[in-house]
């Protein structure tokens, strides 16, 4: 499905709405009634959306990640008032390690100012590599798998380095943003391989035989210098909290993120639930309330596929802003038809 129109999405989604107890007609009526969200004048809204289906080699391809990007783009523009020109998308061959990092730097870090809203969404495989600092008891750091990250020749008999983007790197990039209104959405997971029977999950094999690349570790050192952080300070900050704003993960650390097949399209169970839920809401949704409800929907979809998937939220918010609206953007009503 190369392009998803708003009405087309709702029509395609109709066959699965009964799963979460909502009729297609209800959503169509609410969408027609409340229409497009008007942009706020007080801040700029920037988004980088990444989706990768076309993994190759022994890394199983996915089917719903590019659709996730399309769904999120529609949602941000038409329900949260993002200017389309301020949304950058990277899909499949565009989403190399260098492409993702460069886009994050140029589109988000270089442009964001205090008070601006920033959204980074990644749909694709996650994995794990050996963590030199052993932040977690298992000794691994979660990663995002770009299109050009390949498993070492001979894996899993032999190990080696991979060109993944480490969670530590994402922490540094988030730290460099000149705004606190940051939302990171990760529709990926890090527990095992990419298929379970006929079910596709968003996780590439990883573990104690995979190491971060020297290029990745050097990139982190460059950012430490730019942020004036010592390695010890970096470790201390990571172990306290996320860098800033909110990080929404589609599944717990030991769970699988499901790449769903619907009636005639594919999407992530979490991104589909998130888009569908936020699309139909007529009032402001706090992050906590939204993810509780989206989590129920996601868990139901995954459970029907024989899996457990429970989205998680981590945040680093000020005491004055402990439960902000989702995407740090209040919704506004408009009379425009969808």
Pair 70, 190 in one domain? yes
Q: Assess contact for 259 and 63: CB atoms under 8 A.
A: yes
Q: Looking at residue 70, what is its pLDDT?
A: 97
Count structural domains, the chain: 2
Pair 220, 244 in one domain? yes
- Any domain includes 311: yes
Phi and psi at residue 266, to the nearest 5°: -125, 145
Q: Looking at residue 334, what is its pLDDT?
A: 40
Pair 48, 30 in one domain? no
Query: Could you tell me which of 190, 147, 208 has the C-alpha nearest to residue 312?
Result: 190
CATH code at position 230: 3.40.50.1460
- Token pair, residue 84, equals 């389309």
- Any domain includes 1: no
Percentage of the chain lying above the pLDDT 90 cut = 66
- Any domain includes 185: yes
Residue-wise burial string across 155-167, b where 16 or more C-beta atoms lie within 10 A, e elsewhere? beeebebbbbbbb
> Is 41 a residue whose pLDDT tops 70?
no
- Any domain includes 269: yes
Pair 273, 189 in one domain? yes
Pair 27, 168 in one domain? no
Q: Looking at residue 283, what is its pLDDT?
A: 81
- Any domain includes 3: no
Pair 18, 86 in one domain? no
Full residue range of the structural domain in which residue 23 is found: 8-37
pTM of the predicted model as reported, rounded to 2 decimal places: 0.86
Q: Looking at residue 17, what is its pLDDT?
A: 38
Pair 29, 73 in one domain? no
Beta partners for 187? 123
Q: Assess contact for 203 and 268: CB atoms under 8 A.
A: no
Pair 24, 45 in one domain? no
- Any domain includes 48: yes
State how far the Cα of 121 lies from the Cα of 247, in Å rounded to an integer.
Answer: 10
**Could you write out the DSSP letters of every residue in 153-164?**
TTTTTS-EEE--
State how far the Cα of 45 lies from the Cα of 76, in Å rounded to an integer.
Answer: 9
Pair 21, 121 in one domain? no
Q: Looking at residue 34, what is its pLDDT?
A: 32
First vs last Cα of the chain: how many Å apart?
A: 20
Residue 236, judged by CB atoms within 10 A of its CB (0-12, 13-18, 19+), counts as exposed
pLDDT digits (tens, 9 = 90+) for 190-232: 754 443 344 688 888 888 899 999 999 999 999 999 999 999 9
């Amino acid at each position: 499905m190369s392009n998803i129109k708003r009405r087309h999405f709702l029509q395609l989604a109709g066959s699965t709405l009964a799963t979460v107890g909502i009729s297609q007609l209800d959503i169509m009526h609410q969408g027609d009634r409340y229409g497009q969200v008007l942009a706020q004048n007080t801040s700029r809204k920037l988004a980088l959306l990444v989706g990768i289906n076309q993994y190759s080699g022994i890394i199983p391809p996915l089917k719903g990640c590019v659709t996730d990007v399309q769904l999120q783009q529609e949602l941000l523009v038409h329900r949260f008032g993002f200017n389309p020109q301020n949304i950058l998308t990277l899909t499949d061959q565009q989403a190399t390690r260098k492409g993702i990092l460069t886009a994050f730097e140029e589109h988000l870090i270089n442009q964001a100012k205090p008070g601006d809203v920033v959204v980074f969404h990644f749909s694709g495989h996650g994995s794990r590599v050996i963590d030199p600092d052993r932040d977690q008891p298992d000794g691994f750091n979660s990663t995002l798998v770009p299109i050009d990250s390949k498993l070492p020749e001979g894996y899993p008999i032999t190990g080696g380095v991979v060109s993944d983007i480490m969670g530590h790197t994402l922490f540094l990039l988030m730290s460099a943003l000149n705004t606190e209104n940051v939302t990171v959405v990760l529709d990926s997971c890090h527990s095992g391989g990419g298929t379970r029977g006929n079910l596709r999950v968003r996780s590439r094999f990883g573990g104690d035989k995979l190491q971060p690349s020297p290029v990745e570790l050097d990139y982190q050192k460059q950012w430490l210098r730019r942020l004036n952080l010592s390695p010890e300070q970096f470790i201390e900050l990571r172990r306290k909290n996320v860098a800033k704003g909110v990080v929404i993960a589609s599944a717990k650390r030991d769970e699988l993120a499901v790449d769903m097949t619907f009636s005639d399209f594919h999407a992530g169970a979490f991104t589909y639930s998130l888009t569908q839920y936020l699309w139909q809401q007529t009032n402001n949704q706090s992050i906590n309330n939204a993810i509780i409800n989206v989590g129920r929907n996601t868990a139901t979809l995954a459970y029907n596929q024989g899996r457990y998937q429970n989205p998680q939220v981590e945040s680093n918010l000020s005491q004055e802003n402990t439960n902000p609206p989702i995407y740090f953007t209040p919704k506004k009503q408009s009379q425009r038809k969808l």
